[in-house]
Amino acid sequence: MDHTWLERVGLNSSPIIPINMRYQIVPDYHMHTPRCNHAVGSIREYAESACKAGLAEIGMSDHSPMPNGFDKAWRMDESELSSFIKELEAAQVEFKGQLVIKSALEVDYYPGAEDYIKHLSQLYDWDYLMGSVHFIGRWGFDNPDALAHWEHCDVEQAYCDYFKLVAASATTGLFDVIGHPDLIKKFGHRVQGESKRVDKAENKMLEAVKANNVALEISSAGLRKPVAEIYPHPRIVEKAAKLCIPFAYGSDAHSPVEVGHGMQACLALLDTHGIQDIANFEQRKRVMRSFVKT
C-alpha cells in the first residue's frame, strides 16, 4: 500500500469507525480500486480493512467505463472490467463466511449516456449501480484541476444545473443509488443567502428520486474534503425523510484505511431526522434494515 499517499491525505493505517453503542455497523457501499487512476489498494486490502473495522458487508463500486473516452483519466477502461470482476470474485471466495462483498459500479450520468449505461448494466450480475453526477456540461466541477472555473461562474446557477442533472439521473431508472447527492458543494462554494431557485431544484431532485424508487447515498466523503460536511446537507436529509426516501451509506473510500470512515456520524444524522433503516442490496433488489440497536 502507498503509505506516502496516506500521509498526504492525512490518514493513518487503521480503520476509523468510532464506537457508538446506539448504532449497528452497516454496509459500506462505496469504494474504489487503482483502476480509476486515483485510488490505492487491492480489493483484498479493502476487505481486510473492513473485517478489522467490524463490517459484515461492503460493496466495491469503482468508477465505471464511459463511452467515447469520457473522463478517461479518472476511470477504468472497459477492457479492465474483466480483471475487476475476477479480482472481486476471488475476494468473495477468500472472505466467504467473514465478509460479504457486493458487486457494483459507480456510473457517471450525463445526458446521452443512457444507452451505454444500459449496456454496462447487462455485462454482469451487479448487486447495485450507483449513479453520480460529476460534470455540468464539460466542466468537471469536483475536479481540483478545474477549480479556476468556480472563480467566474454563477454559483446559484451551478447548483440548479447540478440538481437538475441529478434529478434526470434518477428519472432514467438505471440506478439503485444516487451517489453523494450534493457533491456540488465539495470545495465549499455556497450560494449566498437563501435561494428559492436552489430550494426548488433540490425539491425537484428529491421528487424524482422518490418517484423512481431510488435510494440516496449518505456519504462521509465530504468530511474529508474542503467543505468538511457530510453529503447530503442536513436540510436535504430532512426533506428526504419527509418523503420517506431510503438511504444507503458509503465512505467513498479511495484507500483501504478510509473504509467505514464517518459511518457513525452519518447514521447519527439520519437518526436525528427519524430515519433508522439503511438500504442493503443484492442483485439489484433493495432490502431495508434497521441500524439502531434494540
pLDDT of residue 6: 36
Which residue range is the domain that position 138 belongs to?
Answer: 25-290
Contact indicator for 107, 175 with CB cutoff of 8 Å: yes
pLDDT in tens, 94-127: 999 999 999 999 999 999 999 999 999 999 999 9
Q: List the strands of the sheet with 247-250, edge to edge.
A: 57-63, 100-108, 128-132, 177-178, 215-219, 247-250
The DSSP element (H or E) to which 166 belongs, if any, is helix 155-171
Contact indicator for 129, 105 with CB cutoff of 8 Å: yes
Beta strands in 183-276 (DSSP E): 215-219, 247-250
Q: Which residue has the cell 456540461?
A: 137
- The answer to whether residue 15 sits within a structural domain is no
Residue 2 pLDDT > 50, yes or no?
no
What is the chain's mean pLDDT, rounded?
94
Residue 5 pLDDT > 60, yes or no?
no
- The answer to whether residue 42 sits within a structural domain is yes
Beta strands in 128-197 (DSSP E): 128-132, 177-178
Domain count, the chain: 1
The DSSP element (H or E) to which 101 belongs, if any, is strand 100-108
- The answer to whether residue 248 sits within a structural domain is yes
Answer left, alpha or beta for residue 238, where phi above 0 means left and psi between -120 and 50 means alpha.
alpha
- The answer to whether residue 9 sits within a structural domain is no
Supply the CATH number for residue 175's domain: 3.20.20.140
- The answer to whether residue 70 sits within a structural domain is yes
pLDDT of residue 19: 60
- The answer to whether residue 16 sits within a structural domain is no
Residue 3 pLDDT > 60, yes or no?
no
pLDDT in tens, 241-287: 999 999 999 999 999 999 999 999 999 999 999 999 999 999 999 99
pLDDT of residue 21: 80
pTM: 0.94
- Residue 183 three-state SS: helix
Alpha-carbon gap, residue 83 to 48, rounded angstroms: 20
- Residue 241 three-state SS: helix
- The answer to whether residue 155 sits within a structural domain is yes
β-strand partners of 128: 104
For residues 171 and 12, the model is more confident at 171
Torsion angle of C-alpha atoms 104, 176, 71, 221, degrees rounded to 10: -80
Residue 11 pLDDT > 70, yes or no?
no
- Residue 280 three-state SS: strand
Render the burial of 83-94: b for 16+ CB within 10 Å, e for the rest: ebbebbeebbee
- The answer to whether residue 18 sits within a structural domain is no
Three-state SS string across 50-98, please?
A: HHHCCCCEEEEEEECCCHHHCCHHHCCCHHHHHHHHHHHHHHHHHCCCC
